[in-house]
């Protein structure tokens, strides 16, 4: 009789689904995916849900392998010594290996009034709530979007294209990741859509009220609906379970994504902090890390040494409404450069990318091991060595 290895994957996002599917490469591995929702959330489309152009949901039956058991529940605690997890429903599930892929959500804000009067959109439930609020608001009501990263830009453009009066409150700068040349083209597109962009030292939000936001320059900006996209955080499950985390709460791992505390626990996606030197939170990072986490577990089952991660980037693709986008190109170490693609061509690239990600998950379900990431970052090792050397000098 073949002895099976039980692997639990916590989190059914991009990283978790890819990892769960990939684990089924071995017939003697039993995979259980634990997720609080019964449908997959296309997080890269949540701005479309808010704008009313997409539901941002996919049936798990379309993207999960037949041998992956989906348990719709929430993990309340990880018992690493006992190799089990406690679920919110009261059940306990044991494991031989665990992949920690809980993702990220909205960061708690210390800005007065933000928790009471602003609407974050990092999760499905938050985006759905905001959609209902917008539906109930007058069509001419002022909307303030706080935070000018990719999410803030996409939400502002989506709502402006739908006819909303939108002000994008950037804080210091529009699109901090973007190259100045690309930032200029994004600003032009936002202006064409009617988005008012506030930048600079006087454009930081210091307080949020029911019908306005207060800015650092002293101005009170009218806002019937305030959308909050400033910052992401991670669930505190790892910390609550006594596992080592970074300052943000991501699980600390080595370069194979194995927990520094327990060789049976491997992390992937936004909730992983390899070498306390995490990669950028994104769908772009989640998929290769999900694949690598599965490969690390499979290597340990096979009795061989797992490989270190080598994940590079192509840049960032930002939707600017339904008819335009900006594809910011980057070096493999995720440094933005002056090259980009814009307009309708970029919008087509963005849409194909969103569809392509779901197809990748479905392909991995049908043929485990098929996912491959072509972008490598050979600079990471040198940066890590420099970081470690600096740490030794400062001790």
Could you report how far apart the first and last alpha carbons of the chain are, in Å? 54
Strands 225-228 and 118-120: parallel
Over residues 128-141, mean pLDDT: 97
Q: Is the pLDDT of residue 55 over 70?
A: yes
> Does the predicted TM-score (pTM) go above 0.85?
yes
* Res. 232 pLDDT band, cuts 50 70 90: confident
Q: Is the pLDDT of residue 52 over 90?
A: yes
Over residues 334-357, mean pLDDT: 96
Own/partner pairs for 173-179, CB < 8 Å, 24+ apart?
173/148, 173/199, 174/148, 174/199, 175/148, 175/149, 175/150, 175/318, 176/148, 176/149, 177/149, 177/150, 177/316, 177/328, 177/336, 178/316, 178/326, 178/328, 178/336, 179/328, 179/336, 179/337, 179/338, 179/340
Structure tokens at 137: 């608001």
Separation CA 64–CA 21 (nearest Å): 6
Over residues 55-68, mean pLDDT: 97
Separation CA 136–CA 314 (nearest Å): 39
Over residues 130-148, mean pLDDT: 97
Q: What's the residue count for the chain?
A: 395
Instruction: Give the least confident one: 255-264, 296-305, 328-337.
Output: 328-337
Residue 99: predicted pLDDT: 98
Separation CA 194–CA 325 (nearest Å): 16
């Amino acid at each position: 009789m073949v002895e099976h290895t039980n692997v639990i994957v916590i989190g059914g996002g991009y990283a978790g689904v890819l990892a769960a599917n990939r684990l089924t490469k071995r017939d003697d591995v039993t995979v259980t995916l634990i997720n609080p929702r019964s449908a997959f959330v296309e997080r890269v489309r949540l701005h479309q849900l808010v704008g009313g152009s997409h539901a941002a949901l996919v049936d798990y039956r379309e993207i999960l392998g037949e041998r992956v058991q989906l348990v719709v529940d929430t993990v309340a605690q990880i018992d690493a010594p006992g190799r089990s997890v406690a679920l919110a429903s009261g059940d306990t599930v044991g494991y031989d290996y665990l992949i920690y892929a809980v993702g990220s959500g909205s960061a708690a804000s210390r800005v007065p009034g933000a928790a009471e009067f602003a609407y974050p959109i990092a999760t499905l439930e938050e985006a759905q709530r905001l959609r209902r609020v917008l539906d109930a608001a007058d069509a001419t009501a002022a909307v303030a979007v706080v935070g000018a990263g990719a999410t803030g830009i996409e939400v502002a453009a989506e709502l402006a294209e739908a006819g909303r009066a939108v002000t994008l409150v950037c804080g210091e700068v529009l699109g901090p990741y973007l190259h100045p040349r690309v930032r200029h083209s994004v600003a032009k597109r936002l202006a064409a859509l009617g988005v008012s962009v506030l930048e600079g030292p006087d454009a930081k939000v210091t307080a949020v009220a029911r019908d306005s936001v207060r800015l650092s320059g002293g101005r009170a900006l009218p806002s019937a609906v305030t959308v909050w996209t400033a910052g992401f955080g991670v669930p505190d499950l790892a910390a609550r379970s006594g596992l080592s985390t970074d300052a943000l709460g991501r699980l600390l791992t080595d370069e194979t994504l194995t927990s520094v505390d327990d060789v049976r626990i491997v992390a992937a996606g936004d909730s992983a902090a390899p070498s306390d030197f995490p990669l950028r939170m994104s769908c772009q990072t989640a998929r290769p890390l999900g694949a690598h986490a599965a490969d690390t577990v499979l290597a340990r089952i096979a009795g061989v040494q797992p490989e270190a991660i080598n994940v590079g980037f192509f840049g960032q693709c930002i939707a600017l409404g339904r008819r335009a986008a900006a594809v910011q190109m980057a070096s493999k170490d995720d440094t933005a450069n002056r090259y980009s693609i814009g307009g309708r061509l970029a919008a087509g690239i963005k849409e194909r990318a969103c569809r392509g990600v779901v197809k990748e998950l479905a392909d991995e379900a049908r043929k485990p091991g098929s996912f491959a990431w072509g972008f490598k970052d050979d600079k990471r090792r040198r940066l890590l060595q420099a970081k470690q050397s600096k740490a030794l000098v400062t001790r």
